[in-house]
Structure 1
Amino acid sequence: MIDHIYISVTDIDTASAFYLQALEPLGWKEFGTYSASWGPDDVPDLFGIGDAVYISGTGVGSSIWLRQRNAGETGLYVGIVCDTNDAVDAAYAAAINAGGIDEGPPADRTYFAPGYYAANVADIDGNRLEFVRKAWNPRH
């Protein structure tokens, strides 16, 4: 299951208006922002839009995070749900063994939230995967 996707956009205000209107019939809403000042230097400001389940925290839902595109940037960022920290570790190891590029080994990422455990890799084209376990999500 996909937990979240980062979409790099040229204008946050225009893009957020578009995504909020386009996804409103499906029950998606703005649920908050993440400030780059709260975490490591490589995590940008983010604008969050989520489905009803994601926002309520009652199950495993999905979210989109809009971020300001950097010059020359392309690629996709996809967060993949993992049921356990061991699953995060295993997926990360498999991705590295398959030729993935390390962008952050498995670790607690408490700057996002307590119980957020993740690892990051990129493929040779710069597309990024985050394997993530959120302690508050039920197993699926």
Structure 2
Amino acid sequence: MIDHVYISVTDIDKSLAFYSEALKPLGWSIFGNYDSASGPDSVPDLYGIGDDTYGKRKAVGSSIWLRQRKPGETGLYLGIVCDTNELVDAAYAAAIKAGGIDEGKPADRTYFAPGYYAANVADFDGNRLEFVHKAWNPKRHQ
């Protein structure tokens, strides 16, 4: 399941208006921003739009985070749900073994939220994957 996607845009306000209106019929709405001052330099300011279950802890939800595009930037950032920290570790190890580029070893990312455990890799074209376990998400598999 896809947890979140970062979309790099040239105009945050215009893009927030577009995505929030386009996704409103599907139950999506703007839910907040992430101020990069509270995290590492590699994490930009983010502007969140989530589905009707995102953040409510009833089910695993999905979100889109808009970020200001940098000159020459391309590629996709995709967060993939993992049901445990061990699965984050396993997916990260498999991606590195397959030739992925380390962009953040598995670790707690408390600057996002307590219980947020993730690892980051890039592929050969600069697309990025984040394997993420959010402790508050209900388990998807038995």
Tell me which stretches of 4 or more aligned residues in structure 1 moved more than 3 Å: none
TM-score normalised by structure 1 residue count: 0.99
CA RMSD across the alignment: 0.5
The residue aligned with 1:90 is: 90
Q: Gaps (5+ residues) in structure 1?
A: none
1:74 has 2:100 as partner: no
1:117 has 2:117 as partner: yes
1:33-55 deviations in whole A, cap 9, x for unaligned? 00010100000000000001114
Count of residue correspondences: 140
1:45 is aligned with what amino acid? D
Structure 1 range deviating more: 3-12 or 54-63: 54-63
2:57 and 2:83 mapped to 1: Cα distance?
15
Q: Is the 8 A contact 2:57 2:138 kept in 1?
A: no
Q: Is the 8 A contact 1:31 1:55 kept in 2?
A: no
Give % identity: 76
Q: Gaps (5+ residues) in structure 2?
A: none
Q: Is the 8 A contact 1:96 1:102 kept in 2?
A: yes
TM-score normalised by structure 2 residue count: 0.98
The residue aligned with 2:27 is: 27
Q: Report the CA distance between 1:59 and its aligned residue.
A: 1.0
